[in-house]
Amino acid sequence: MSIIGIIPARYASSRFPGKPLVQIKGMSMLERVYTQAKKAKALDEILIATDDERIAQHALSFGGRAVMTRENHPSGTDRCFEAYTLNKKKFDHVLNIQGDEPFLDPDQIDALAMACNSSVEIATQMILCKDHKVLFDKGEVKIVLNAAKEAIYFSRSVIPHIKGKNENEWPLHYNYYRHVGMYAYRVDVLEKITRLAPSQLELAESLEQLRWLENGYKIKCIETTFDSHCIDIPEDIEKVLSLMGK
């Protein structure tokens, strides 16, 4: 199986404009993500997908390869697919590496790549969440699973509700999993999901993966023990640095 890793890097984030270029302890967020991705063994190629010349030039400055995509993509998945179509070489799978997780581990990428085969439509990662504060953080997306470790639902709320128990005790009574945001797509599936119209659940939770579930696609969830955390707003930088320090 051949796999290309694509890092979507948009400049005009409503919550954090210029996020890919923000400096974190002397290195930009984008360079940190790219440097970690380069250490992975499973990727045949790495591409940065952006809509801004400043990001493209910055990528070149540290040895990355970037392609210019449209500004009006509704999600990183759509940006990944356009970048893939602009690439001369074709692959079996696309691995969407989140551009706002600067402390991802290369082994995470390799573990997700191992799930790529002809029968898996979409794969992503999850981590067991025992910390009450993290569990109830609405910025952290939780996953509800079926017996085959495929996603039933993703939510910013804590699901399931443990009836009759104090919220602080919920992680003692159920194995809650938090989403770790990389995705691997079979190329034919990636093309199909980018043609889907936004769904009601997706718009309600602001989670694009709910669109895929609503339309019958299966998302295989692979457990990881490495907690990388995403950065959505400027205040998250210190929070993530603190969590990583622990």
Task: Report whether pLDDT(246) > 60.
Answer: no
**CATH number for the domain harbouring residue 28:** 3.90.550.10
Range of the domain at 123: 3-245
Q: How confident is the model at residue 214 (pLDDT cuts 50, 70, 90)?
A: very high
Between 127 and 71, whose confidence is greater?
Answer: 127
What are the residues whose beta carbons fall under 8 Å from the beta carbon of 3, sequence distance 6 or more? 42, 43, 44, 91, 92, 93, 94, 95, 113, 116, 184
Q: Span 18-31, mean pLDDT?
A: 90
- pTM score: 0.90
Specify the pLDDT at position 227: 76
- Per-residue pLDDT at 14: 67
Q: What is the pLDDT of residues 80-116, one digit of tens each?
A: 999 999 999 999 999 999 998 888 899 999 999 999 9
d(CA 207, CA 203): 7
Which pLDDT score, from 0 to 100, does residue 25 have? 86
Quickly count: other Cβ atoms within 10 Å of residue 159's Cβ. Answer: 14
How many domains are there within the chain? Answer: 1
Which residues on neighbouring strands pair with residue 3, listed in sequence order?
93
Q: Tell me what the mean pLDDT of segment 116-120 comes to.
A: 95
Q: Say if CB 104 and CB 98 are below 8 A apart.
A: yes
167-187 confidence digits (pLDDT tens): 999 999 999 999 988 999 999
pLDDT at 123 over 80: yes
